[in-house]
């Protein structure tokens, strides 16, 4: 039975390719997306696998790793019990879009905020957020913070599309909460928290979905012939990536350990989450997710919720 929950926030620092194999569109290697909404996501199995790999580097006690993630060695009791740490899918929270003013805007939508609010408040009255989701935004319109730096005369231009924007105090409250509670320490003082406070834009659900579909980063890659240093015939492909400065969140749950510790005492769900949080300090708050690790893709900064 799940008795403890928290949230893991992932801030993308280099383009991230969590792929699904070959695609049928013009992009050869697309990223993972939700079936109904087409929002970008990363499957929970990939998140949990990376957390386990990190734990195996950081935690020296094999018993603790088995309690968190289950026995992972074939023939060593892997079928005896499951791990106590449960990782959900990584879902989109903020998506960066090129802006005519302010370089780029952090975009989101009422649908995204409603899903996040539902996920973070699930089963815990103490986790009720101090803000409400604004009323639905009409297509072609946007809500912005009262200190927004991404507008000119109440018009926001994202990519080649313009939106009629109006400041809203609720957006200030949401932006401030995200800057305080969701953004990891990115090593630049108040720059990134203030960037969210001054660049958060809430779009209509349809407009946000379109940007999440068509404003990702698509990279064309080639393979060279080692002898001639020319492109090999047929070795040209395109990869889709989540862009730098995307913010994702992962619901994390815990049960009591299904195996007793070495001292015979039960490992509680709270202790399971405490051990999981220790992976943050053990790795300097970085994870590498998705493919293309050897060319620097998929570096994310993580932050655990309270």
Q: How confident is residue 91, by pLDDT bands cut at 50, 70 and 90?
A: very high
| Residue 117 shares a structural domain with residue 69 | no
Which among 102, 73, 78, 89 is positioned nearest to 7, based on CA atoms? 89
Q: What's the whole-number average pLDDT of the chain?
A: 89
User: Is 290 a domain residue?
Assistant: yes
User: Is 28 a domain residue?
Assistant: no
**What is the extent of the structural domain holding 287?**
1-18+44-88+245-306
Tell me, what's the pLDDT at 223? 78
CB crowding 85-110: b at 16 or more within 10 Å, else e:
bbbbbbbbbbbbbebbebebbbbbbb
- Is pLDDT at 212 greater than 90 in this prediction? yes
Q: How confident is residue 199, by pLDDT bands cut at 50, 70 and 90?
A: very high
Do strands 155-158 and 161-167 pair parallel, antiparallel, or not at all (unpaired)?
A: antiparallel
pLDDT tens-digit map of 116-170: 999 998 866 566 889 999 999 999 999 999 999 999 999 999 999 999 999 999 9
| Residue 203 shares a structural domain with residue 122 | yes
| Residue 272 shares a structural domain with residue 295 | yes
Which among 125, 60, 116 is positioned nearest to 88, based on CA atoms? 116
pTM: predicted TM-score of the whole model, two decimal places: 0.91
pLDDT tens-digit map of 29-85: 899 999 999 999 999 999 999 999 988 888 888 888 888 998 876 655 556 788 899
Tell me, what's the pLDDT at 227? 79
| Residue 105 shares a structural domain with residue 52 | no
Classify the phi-psi angles of 115: left when phi > 0, otherwise alpha if psi is within -120 to 50, otherwise beta.
Answer: alpha
| Residue 109 shares a structural domain with residue 83 | no
User: Is 66 a domain residue?
Assistant: yes
User: Is 229 a domain residue?
Assistant: no
Q: How many domains does the chain have?
A: 2
Tell me, what's the pLDDT at 226? 77
More confident residue, 223 or 10: 10
| Residue 83 shares a structural domain with residue 169 | no
Please state the rounded mean pLDDT for residues 268-279.
89
Please state the rounded mean pLDDT for residues 236-255.
93
- Give the Cα separation of 276 and 254 in Å (integer): 10
| Residue 63 shares a structural domain with residue 152 | no
User: Is 27 a domain residue?
Assistant: no
| Residue 9 shares a structural domain with residue 72 | yes
Tell me, what's the pLDDT at 59? 84
| Residue 270 shares a structural domain with residue 249 | yes
| Residue 249 shares a structural domain with residue 187 | no
User: Is 235 a domain residue?
Assistant: no
User: Is 51 a domain residue?
Assistant: yes
Token couple for 291: 């493919």
* C-beta neighbour count of 302 within 10 angstroms: 22
Q: What percent of the chain has pLDDT over 70?
A: 90
User: Is 30 a domain residue?
Assistant: no
- Is pLDDT at 26 greater than 80 in this prediction? no
- Is pLDDT at 201 greater than 90 in this prediction? yes
| Residue 187 shares a structural domain with residue 156 | yes
């Amino acid at each position: 039975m799940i008795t403890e929950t928290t949230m893991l926030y992932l801030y993308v620092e280099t383009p991230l390719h969590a792929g699904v194999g070959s695609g049928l569109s013009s992009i050869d290697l697309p990223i993972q997306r939700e079936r109904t909404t087409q929002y970008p996501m990363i499957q929970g199995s990939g998140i949990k696998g990376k957390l386990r790999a990190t734990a195996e580097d950081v935690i020296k006690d094999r018993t603790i790793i088995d309690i968190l993630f289950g026995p992972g060695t074939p023939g060593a009791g892997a079928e005896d019990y499951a791990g106590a740490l449960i990782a959900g899918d990584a879902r989109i929270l903020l998506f960066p879009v090129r802006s005519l003013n302010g370089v780029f805007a952090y975009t989101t939508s009422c649908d995204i905020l409603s899903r996040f609010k539902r996920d973070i408040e699930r089963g815990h009255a103490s986790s009720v957020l101090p803000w409400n989701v604004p009323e639905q935004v009409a297509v072609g319109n946007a809500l912005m913070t009262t200190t927004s730096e991404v507008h000119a005369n109440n018009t926001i231009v994202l990519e080649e599309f313009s939106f009629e924007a109006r400041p809203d105090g609720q957006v200030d409250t949401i932006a401030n909460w995200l800057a305080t509670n969701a953004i990891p320490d990115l090593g630049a003082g108040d720059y990134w928290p203030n960037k969210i406070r001054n660049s958060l834009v809430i779009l209509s659900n349809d407009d946000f979905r379109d940007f999440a579909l068509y404003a990702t980063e698509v990279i064309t890659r080639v393979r060279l012939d080692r002898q001639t240093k020319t492109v090999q015939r047929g070795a040209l492909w395109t990869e889709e990536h989540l862009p730098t400065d995307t913010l994702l969140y992962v619901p994390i749950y815990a049960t009591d350990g299904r195996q007793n510790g070495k001292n015979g005492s039960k490992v509680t769900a709270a202790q399971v989450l405490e051990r999981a949080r220790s992976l943050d300090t053990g790795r300097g708050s970085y994870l590498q997710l998705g493919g293309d690790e050897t060319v620097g893709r998929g570096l994310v900064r993580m932050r655990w919720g309270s």
